[in-house]
Amino acid sequence: MKPNMLKFIKNWPGEIANLLFPGICRHCGGDLDGSDTILCPDCWQGLRQSMSHSYCPTCGKDIGKFELVDDRCHRCKDKRPMISRFGRLGRYDLTLRELILKLKYQKRSTLEGVFGQLLASVLISDPYYTDVDILIPVPMHWTRKFIRSFNQTDIVAIELKKQMKKQGRHLKINYDLVRTRRTPPLAGLSDSQRREIIKGAFSVRPDVNFANKHICIIDDITTSGITLKESARAINSAGAAKISALVLAVAGQD
Ligand SMILES: [Zn+2]
Ligand SMILES: [Zn+2]
């Protein structure tokens, strides 16, 4: 099979959509303005609204205007989190929520590029991420990935890596963080229930060493942050020098 053909088939949902419906917004079906090939001005506006809230760069939660002291809000000012920096696109609401759901359940390949670009802009604009070496997408248990056929967090990490490469930053993606057991969905559970379920559910493959590395964990949605914390615990035990996180959205905000 010719490489071009293979590329075409790999990207078929976006390619087919472009052939069948040129000029149509991939989210709402509205008209695109001339230069954009994915989202219409209204959907971009909705996305900007989900992304417009200020947040704490240490815990990722929404903050008031003058709340930060030394990059910490009142929730995390006395804590020593293993994840030392937290970046996000926005709140898990409105257009951002709808687009993430499309990525998650419909594998809309046209949206991957949007998320990759937006995450890259967070990573580039915050000097804390300057020395990131490795991206680690939060893994699904292999049985779930087998059924779904893809992990949207892997896809987002790959797009982010591509975007960073365009900026001259070469990041690696590492898949040595694994889920050691399958866990039930956490939606609707209290923080303590979530903690109990997730505790010890991640580990880094034996003989992997992240010494001197700045690892940035990538996730799609976080609510309590417990999945990220447990991932960080495993990555830390493999010797990482610095751990940060970058997510598409934070849920459970007031
Ligand atoms: Zn639209
Ligand atoms: Zn905070």
**Distance from residue 227's CA to the centre of ligand 2 (Å):** 17
pLDDT attached to residue 6:
38
**Distance from residue 229's CA to the centre of ligand 2 (Å):** 14
**Token code pair at residue 207:** 């003989």
Angle of helix 41-50 relative to helix 94-106, nearest 10 degrees, comes to 100
Taking the CB of residue 40, how many other CB atoms lie within 10 A of it?
Answer: 20
Q: Mean pLDDT score of the chain, rounded to an integer?
A: 86
**Token code pair at residue 5:** 């053909």
pLDDT attached to residue 21:
56
Which residue segments constitute the domains of the chain, with CATH numbers given?
53-250 (3.40.50)
**Distance from residue 174's CA to the centre of ligand 2 (Å):** 27
Q: Exposed e or buried b for every residue in 113-133, given b needs 16+ CB within 10 A? A: ebbbebbbebbeeeebbeebb
pLDDT attached to residue 129:
97
Question: Nearest ligand, CA of residue 40?
Answer: 1
Q: Is 86 left (phi over 0), alpha (psi -120 to 50) or beta?
A: beta
**Distance from residue 123's CA to the centre of ligand 2 (Å):** 18
Share of the chain above pLDDT 70, in %: 88
Tens of pLDDT, residues 52-93:
999 999 999 999 878 899 999 999 999 889 999 999 999 999
Taking the CB of residue 101, how many other CB atoms lie within 10 A of it?
Answer: 14
